[in-house]
Amino acid sequence: MQQLQLLGKNTLALISGLGRAVIVLLSAILHRPDFRKGTPLLMQQLYNVGFLSLVIIVVSGGFIGMVLALQGYTILVGYGAEASLGPMVALALLRELGPVVSALLFAGRAGSALTAEIGLMKATEQLSSLEMMAVDPLRRVIAPRFWAGFISLPLLAAIFSMVGILGAHLVGVDWLGVDSGTFWSVMQSQVDFNKDILNGIIKSVVFAFVVTWIAVYKGYDCEPTSEGISRATTSTVVQSSLLILALDFILTALMFAV
């Protein structure tokens, strides 16, 4: 009985949280854009959210590409199929690892920072202060951060995949001795634009939307205390990571299963 009550309570909390998240997002982004004021704000956030995540994306992409090439080579060489190293690595990166791993990294690097920043602005009454100055914090603070995350992540995922392929080339071709021409030409013939590249982009756009939405909402909705901010930050990372993985499964099933 008690568990049933708890279940009911949690379900209600989930639904009302979802409702608030929808309202926050819609009131932030549904209005006539003001390019004169909005552009510099968006630029600032593209730098904070996107550019500052570049290092971790490039380094991780490089290492993952290198590991993929190493692992792939040892398996493929057993069948004399090391010529397929290029497409194997490229497909793994473009379809799965690029969008998913960069989204996970982005949630940890930029998502948590967004939540903490907005939460701190709330706790120090900066958001209330904007409201009292007749400036809507949803448009002024939330909207540019949301758009910046939404734009940045797909670009970061593309960079991740590119650097990953270069890393695989470094290990596969320069170290293990796969022929460079084979590496590239087989990759080109095997990778399909619609099926592989476009689907990867769609995935990363979906992840960008979800991760950034969670991050800005958690910050805006957090309890304005130090504990509240730290709880919100943790929950941004946990919830976005789980949602990324679950959505990845669903999207993969829709895109590649048939």
Distance, CA of 202 to CA of 138 (rounded, Å) = 27
Which residue from 45, 235, 48 is spatially nearest to 141, judged by alpha carbons?
Answer: 45
Q: Is the dihedral of CA 157, 162, 166, 171 positive or negative?
A: positive
Burial 180-201 (b: 16+ CB within 10 A, else e): eebbeebbeeebeeeebbebbb
Q: Which two tokens stand for residue 208?
A: 């960008």
| 126 lines the binding site for other proteins (CB under 8 A) | yes
x/- track of binding to other proteins for residues 67-106 (CB under 8 A): ----------------------------------------
Distance, CA of 212 to CA of 142 (rounded, Å) = 10
CB closer to other proteins out of 124 and 226: 124
CB 145 to other proteins: min, Å: 12
x/- track of binding to other proteins for residues 133-162 (CB under 8 A): xxxx--------------------------
Q: Which of 10, 39, 128, 189 binds other proteins (CB under 8 A)?
A: 128
Q: Which of 1, 4, 132, 258 binds other proteins (CB under 8 A)?
A: 132
CB 29 to other proteins: min, Å: 16
| 221 lines the binding site for other proteins (CB under 8 A) | no
* Residue 23 near residue 125, CB atoms below 8 Å: no
Interacting residues with other proteins (CB under 8 A)? 120-121, 124-126, 128-129, 131-136
